[in-house]
Amino acid sequence: VSKILDGKKMAAEIREGLKREVGELAKKGTTPTLALVTASDDEAALAYVRSIIKAADAVGIKTKNVELSPGATFLEISEALKDLAKDKSVHGIILQTPLPAGIDADELRVLIPATKDIDGASPLSAGRLVSGLSTFAPATAVAVMEMLKEYKITLQGIRAVMLGRSRVVGKPLAHLLLDANATVTICHSKTKDLAGVASEADVLIVAIGKPNFINSKFVKGGAVVIDVGTNITSDGKMVGDVDSETVSAKAGALSPVPGGVGPVTTAILLKHTVIAASL
């Protein structure tokens, strides 16, 4: 049975550290502040925003919830972002999707200065990441790297296989793994012999959004498997992309869902806000 990479415990430790840092910043007169911009009535998106606000509250980070109407125009959203970009009391900005139909999210994201783009969502932040410049990478990608670090998993020279090439997870994570000197292969829906490629991995990271898709055939014995997937089943349960029952018998280590990458991601968003405030 594989070792469990406990994201819940790790997230609690990160939050404890952040509480102390927020206290230190408060002594210097700074309250880390995170602005969340929504223009939607999508229940999942609004619930996600509420969960970030609650987590921020718990460590003493102030939040500014900018709720625009689901019918907001490009101009209205861009004005809100420009105000937050200028506002010295705001350190981090998240533009939550979905946005009203027909609005180009990237044309809005570029209005978030890289120093406040704590989820590395802007094309500018993505460009900085690929160019090797200091920047905030997407929180989920950073969360996976932090988990690998916490559990002292060697990356230098190893074979890392990234399943999924999205802009929020797969691509930035592949870059971070490459920066850590892993030999990185990126797979996607057109990859031939996915199981063959995946089972060469010493570290296998799965972010494809397919419930329980990855079984033991995709996994080399003793490999470290990180499951980024969060899928809600018809009976309301959250399951990962990895079939933990079969994979945990073969892998050396596995991150669970729930309680793996998810809670660490939220903690990293808060950590980035505190870093942005201390800069």
Judged by the rule CB under 6 A, the positions of this chain that interact with ligand NAP are 140, 163-166, 168-170, 187-191, 194, 207-210, 228-231, 261-262, 265
Are 117 and 279 a contacting pair, CB within 8 Å?
Answer: no
- How far apart, in whole angstroms, are the C-alpha atoms of residue 260 and residue 229? 10
Residue with token string 């920047």: 135
Q: How far is the CB of 169 from ligand NAP (least distance, A)?
A: 4
Output 26 or 44, the one with its CB closest to ligand NAP.
44
Q: How far is the CB of 73 from ligand NAP (least distance, A)?
A: 26
Output 81 or 214, the one with its CB closest to ligand NAP.
214
Residue with smallest beta-carbon separation from ligand NAP: 166
Q: How far is the CB of 159 from ligand NAP (least distance, A)?
A: 18
Long-range contacts of 188-194 (CB under 8 A, 24+ apart): 188/163, 188/164, 194/163, 194/218
Residue 140 corresponds to which amino acid? T
Cis peptide before 98 (omega within 30 of 0): yes
Output 25 or 109, the one with its CB closest to ligand NAP.
109
Output 25 or 254, the one with its CB closest to ligand NAP.
254
Q: How far is the CB of 201 from ligand NAP (least distance, A)?
A: 14
Query: Could you tell me which of 198, 277, 201, 206 has the C-alpha nearest to residue 241?
Result: 206
> If 0-12 CB within 10 Å is exposed, 13-18 middle and 19+ buried, where does residue 35 land?
buried
Q: How far is the CB of 7 from ligand NAP (least distance, A)?
A: 9
- How far apart, in whole angstroms, are the C-alpha atoms of residue 259 and residue 15? 15
Output 28 or 190, the one with its CB closest to ligand NAP.
190
Residue with token string 């009535």: 41
